Amino acid sequence: MTAQPFDRSYAGTAAENYQRYFVPSIGGPLAEDLIAAADLRPGERVLDVACGTGVVARLAAERVGDAGSVAGLDPNPGMLAVARAETPAGDRIDWHEASAEAIPLPDGAFDVVLCQMGLQFMPDKPAALAEMRRVLEGGGRVCLNVPGPRPALFGILADALARHLGPRAAGFVDLVFSLHEVEAIAGLMRDAGFREVDVRAAPKDLRLPAPADFFRQYLHSTPVAAIAAEADPSTREALEREVAEQWQPFEANGAMALRLGVTTGSALK
Ligand SMILES: C[S@@+](CC[C@H](N)C(=O)[O-])C[C@H]1O[C@@H](n2cnc3c(N)ncnc32)[C@H](O)[C@@H]1O
């Protein structure tokens, strides 16, 4: 997620903008729910897989306290740089640059593995889940979530991205919402050897910024930023005009209401 900023008000890397804009409106509220579902206890050892800028890891650190420990893992060095910078003074979180499919940590090192909005991006999901299980102690638990199905608001965005920027840009939005069926996720978790697999889908009501603001934030916070930066300004302006106009029906009092489907899976080793 490294891109040249093409709009001066969004100067910064995509990872910095992800932390600044995406985490407060989407990542943060979902992380609160994931942490609640994981029911963390003081003293537990936690690994946050696909940690991004570390929102889940930081909340986990609050819950497990000084007697516990938290590590975060992500293959994107830009995301990890922001995660490191955001770690509150006095907290110690170990950050690892690696993919879920090859976790560079020993067997049985954790009581809890968390993974928020990450599994859908992993090219080899069975290998990633097997690795999450391997690093858990016997009886340890995994708790993960993924978003979907694709809400209408993001359908509008994907269609406009496809027309103005091409299939690669739209493909990112589709990938975000590509894995959410309860049975598909439960099957993957069972096949990886997890037991007591419990997967549930529930809607989460989120409040997003007004259309033009959210459009710009989204574009500058995701891998779409790199693609948009290559387009000429008139293309980007036409794209923004079209999306902002089509998002008008979702706006009320200067914000957009988003009901996002979230599938959460938990299980034991
Ligand atoms: C939408 S972000 C979620 C980040 C964070 N969990 C959060 O909730 O803010 C998805 C993250 O998955 C990471 N990711 C992509 N492929 C991965 C893989 N194979 N293994 C681990 N993480 C991966 C990306 O680098 C990115 O940071």
> Which atom of ligand 1 is found nearest the CA of 116?
6
Q: Is the CB of 59 under 6 A from ligand 1?
A: no
Q: Are 243 and 157 in contact (CB under 8 A)?
A: yes
Q: Are 261 and 151 in contact (CB under 8 A)?
A: yes
> Mean of the per-residue pLDDT values for the chain?
95
Residue found under tokens 């097997």:
130
Q: For residue 3, is pLDDT > 80? A: no
State the first-to-last Cα distance of the chain, in angstroms, to the nearest integer. 33
pLDDT of 8: 57
Superfamily of domain 8-268: Vaccinia Virus protein VP39 (3.40.50.150)
Distance (angstroms) between ligand 1 centre and the Cα of 49 equals 7
Q: Whose CA is nearest to atom 15 of ligand 1?
A: 121
> Which atom of ligand 1 is found nearest the CA of 76?
25
Q: Is the CB of 209 under 6 A from ligand 1?
A: no
User: What would the pLDDT profile of 104-163 be if each residue is shown by its tens digit?
Assistant: 999 999 999 999 999 999 999 999 999 999 999 999 999 999 999 999 999 999 999 999
pLDDT of 10: 66
Q: Is the CB of 29 under 6 A from ligand 1?
A: no
Choose which residue among 121, 175, 218 to substitute to test ligand 1 binding: the one with the highest number of ligand atoms within 8 A of its C-beta.
Answer: 121
Quote the percentage of the chain above a pLDDT of 90.
Answer: 90
Quote the percentage of the chain above a pLDDT of 70.
Answer: 96
Give CA angle at 168 (167, 171), nearest 5°: 80
pLDDT of 12: 79
Distance (angstroms) between ligand 1 centre and the Cα of 172 equals 13
Q: Are 113 and 56 in contact (CB under 8 A)?
A: no
User: What would the pLDDT profile of 177-235 be if each residue is shown by its tens digit?
Assistant: 999 999 999 999 999 999 999 999 999 999 999 999 999 999 899 889 889 989 999 99
pLDDT of 4: 43
User: What is the domain partition of the chain in residue ranges?
Assistant: 8-268
Band of residue 11 on the pLDDT scale cut at 50, 70, 90: low
| Mean local confidence (pLDDT), 46-71 | 98
pLDDT of 7: 58
